[in-house]
Amino acid sequence: MSTELIGLIGTILVIILMFLRVPVAFSMLTIGVIGIGLLSSFPAAFHAVSVDLYHQFASYQLSVVPLFALMGFLASYSGLGVKLFNMADKFLGHIKGGLCLAVQLACAIFGAISGSTSATIVTIGPVAYPEMKKNGYDDTLATACIASGANLDALIPPSVVLVVYGIATEVSVGSLLIAGILPGILLMLLFMATSWILITRKPSLAPTKAKAPWSERWNSLFHGGVVQVLIVFLLSIGGIFLGWFTATEAGAVGAGGMFIVCLFGKNMSFKVLKDSLINASRLTAMVFLLIACAMVFSRFFAMSRIPIFLGDLVSKMDTSKWLVFAVILFIYLILGMFIDSLAMILLTIPVFYPIVVGSLGYDPIWFGILIVLVLSMGSITPPIGLNVFVMQGVLKTVPLYTIFRGIWPYVLAIVICCLIIIAFPSIATILPGLLRG
């Protein structure tokens, strides 16, 4: 049996195990060990496991994950997300579809201190949905707006997905985090435009509410956490851009800054700190285990020579490289409907990254941003749209089909965002270029 055939069988087996609900990390670890054993020897396979697991869990670069995770959970459990939505509501609530716009703005601002889409839904959803329901907003629009808006966290730094992509591809994590800013803002504006168009065409979806007095608006702005979030964001992410910190140091600054904000804002308690530390630890353990096991599988995949075979095949194909790239993005979209974003990146990077960056010559940062956008579509589309399931779990009273029914206009917005970034790659690369310069 050829090495390429063993690699192909191993990849298929990993996908089968995941569909059988075997944890992704253990699926990749099991097949990786067996594959290395078959291609080399089982003593070598066990040695590879011990080396990869140790190096990943001891990695200084990976320490950015628990720091950014703690930063986000502190903001969530301290109630800062609630204040952000209330501020956005005061300024935008009276506009046509204003609460939808407020949700998108709150998700974007919360994304500047949290890299988890699930955390955003859990934080913003229980506050925004009752307010939208009270003001007569249609369930389909309200729930879809929140579930899609959470995807902004996957782009706007600090993004755990971009951090994992950077570690898996050995691309600068700092550059990737900076690269997500402009695409994140663009996607937010497209989501806002989508909500406005939907409500303009059918006003009954969202009645207009009364305008808040300016005194309430200014009070929510200065006491609603926006200023504090801006300061923490500028210190951590701005520090990367200005060359003051590495990505890991920026994570420490962000987590420390958020702790101080919560402490002086009287939002800190022993329960908030305990819950934040516990959930940050759980997320960190999951990400670390995923990356470590993916490295074992990647080692097996490289030994199978499939990346080299695919690269040679693509270079010899008499077809447009854009067509090849479009097929790869379509594969990401389909698999993203069934598999979590982090697992998808770690599973597919050994296959597609050498083709896209090596054979086709595309920019790795630009490719990373597009992957995140395409996987964002998968996270809100059936049959297994993770954001939709989280949203339904938070609200409990809204059926899944109601949320899925309203999600498609926002999927179209993500498609438009992808097309714009494909047409104008500098949207994703200009800020990292300034960072490198």
Confidence of residue 421 (pLDDT cuts 50, 70, 90): very high
Asked whether residue 300 is assigned to any structural domain, the reply reads yes
Q: Structural domain tally of the chain?
A: 2
- Nearest of 192, 198, 190, 196 to residue 417 by alpha carbon: 190
- Looking at per-residue pLDDT, the higher value among 58 and 316 belongs to 58
Structural domain ending residue among the three candidates 306, 335, 352:
306
Q: Are residue 150 and residue 161 in the same domain, yes or no?
A: yes
* The predicted structure's pLDDT at residue 425: 93
* The predicted structure's pLDDT at residue 85: 83
What are the tens digits of pLDDT across the range 164-196? 898 888 888 889 989 999 999 999 999 999 999
Reply yes or no on whether the pLDDT at 10 is more than 70.
yes
Asked whether residue 328 is assigned to any structural domain, the reply reads yes
Reply yes or no on whether the pLDDT at 26 is more than 80.
yes
* The predicted structure's pLDDT at residue 263: 81
* The predicted structure's pLDDT at residue 368: 93
Asked whether residue 315 is assigned to any structural domain, the reply reads no
Reply yes or no on whether the pLDDT at 436 is more than 70.
no
298 vs 390: CA distance, rounded Å: 30
Asked whether residue 130 is assigned to any structural domain, the reply reads yes
331 vs 349: CA distance, rounded Å: 12
Q: Are residue 52 and residue 163 in the same domain, yes or no?
A: no
Reply yes or no on whether the pLDDT at 293 is more than 70.
yes
Q: Are residue 67 and residue 212 in the same domain, yes or no?
A: yes
Contacts of 119 (CB under 8 A, 6+ apart): 72, 73, 76, 153
3 vs 5: CA distance, rounded Å: 5
Which residue's structure tokens are 């270079």?
Answer: 315
* The predicted structure's pLDDT at residue 422: 93
The average confidence (pLDDT) of the chain is 84
What are the tens digits of pLDDT across the range 199-233? 989 888 888 777 888 888 888 777 766 777 788 88
Asked whether residue 31 is assigned to any structural domain, the reply reads yes
Q: Are residue 48 and residue 141 in the same domain, yes or no?
A: no
Q: Are residue 262 and residue 142 in the same domain, yes or no?
A: yes
- Looking at per-residue pLDDT, the higher value among 87 and 188 belongs to 188
What mean pLDDT is predicted for residues 303-329?
Answer: 76
* The predicted structure's pLDDT at residue 180: 92
Residues in the chain: 437
Predicted TM-score of the model (pTM): 0.83
Among the ranges given (16-25, 139-148, 258-267, 308-317), the one the predictor scored with the smallest mean pLDDT: 308-317
What mean pLDDT is predicted for residues 86-96?
Answer: 83
C-alpha distances out from residue 280 to 77, 231, 255, 297, 341, Å: 12, 22, 11, 26, 18
* The predicted structure's pLDDT at residue 254: 85
Structure-token pair, residue 327: 């097929």
In the chain, the percentage of residues whose pLDDT exceeds 70 is: 96
For residue 68, what are the domain limits? 61-268+320-436
Q: Are residue 15 and residue 121 in the same domain, yes or no?
A: no
87 vs 98: CA distance, rounded Å: 12
Among the ranges given (57-61, 124-128, 368-372), the one the predictor scored with the smallest mean pLDDT: 57-61
Reply yes or no on whether the pLDDT at 66 is more than 80.
yes
Reply yes or no on whether the pLDDT at 158 is more than 60.
yes
Q: Are residue 47 and residue 195 in the same domain, yes or no?
A: no
Q: Are residue 155 and residue 217 in the same domain, yes or no?
A: yes
Asked whether residue 281 is assigned to any structural domain, the reply reads no
Asked whether residue 282 is assigned to any structural domain, the reply reads no
Q: 116 — phi, psi (to 5°)?
A: -115, 120
* The predicted structure's pLDDT at residue 248: 83
Asked whether residue 84 is assigned to any structural domain, the reply reads yes
Q: Hey, CA dihedral for 87, 89, 95, 96, is it positive or negative?
A: positive
Q: Are residue 132 and residue 230 in the same domain, yes or no?
A: yes
Confidence of residue 418 (pLDDT cuts 50, 70, 90): very high
C-alpha 70: how far from its chain's center?
A: 16
Among the ranges given (41-50, 55-64, 148-157, 403-412), the one the predictor scored with the smallest mean pLDDT: 55-64
* The predicted structure's pLDDT at residue 340: 74
Q: Are residue 33 and residue 124 in the same domain, yes or no?
A: no
Q: Are residue 39 and residue 65 in the same domain, yes or no?
A: no
Q: Are residue 48 and residue 87 in the same domain, yes or no?
A: no
Reply yes or no on whether the pLDDT at 413 is more than 70.
yes
- Looking at per-residue pLDDT, the higher value among 368 and 12 belongs to 368
What mean pLDDT is predicted for residues 33-48?
Answer: 87
- Nearest of 299, 283, 278 to residue 53 by alpha carbon: 299
Contacts of 20 (CB under 8 A, 6+ apart): none
What mean pLDDT is predicted for residues 267-276?
Answer: 84
3-state secondary structure the chain: CCHHHHHHHHHHHHHHHHHCCCCHHHHHHHHHHHHHHHHCCHHHHHHHHHHHHHHHHCCCHHHHHHHHHHHHHHHHHCCHHHHHHHHHHHHHCCCCCHHHHHHHHHHHHHHCCCCCHHHHHHHHHHHHHHHHHHCCCCHHHHHHHHHHHHHHHHCCCCCHHHHHHHHHHCCCHHHHHHHCHHHHHHHHHHHHHHHHHHHHHCHHHCCCCCCCCHHHHHHHHHHCCHHHHHHHHHHHHHHHHCCCCCHHHHHHHHHHHHHHHHHHCCCCCHHHHHHHHHHHHHHHHHHHHHHHHHHHHHHHHHHCCHHHHHHHHHHHCCCCHHHHHHHHHHHHHHHHCCCCHHHHHHHHHHHHHHHHHHHCCCCHHHHHHHHHHHHHHHCCCCCCCHHHHHHHHHHCCCCHHHHHHCCHHHHHHHHHHHHHHHHCCHHHHHHHHHHHC
Q: 59 — phi, psi (to 5°)?
A: -70, 130
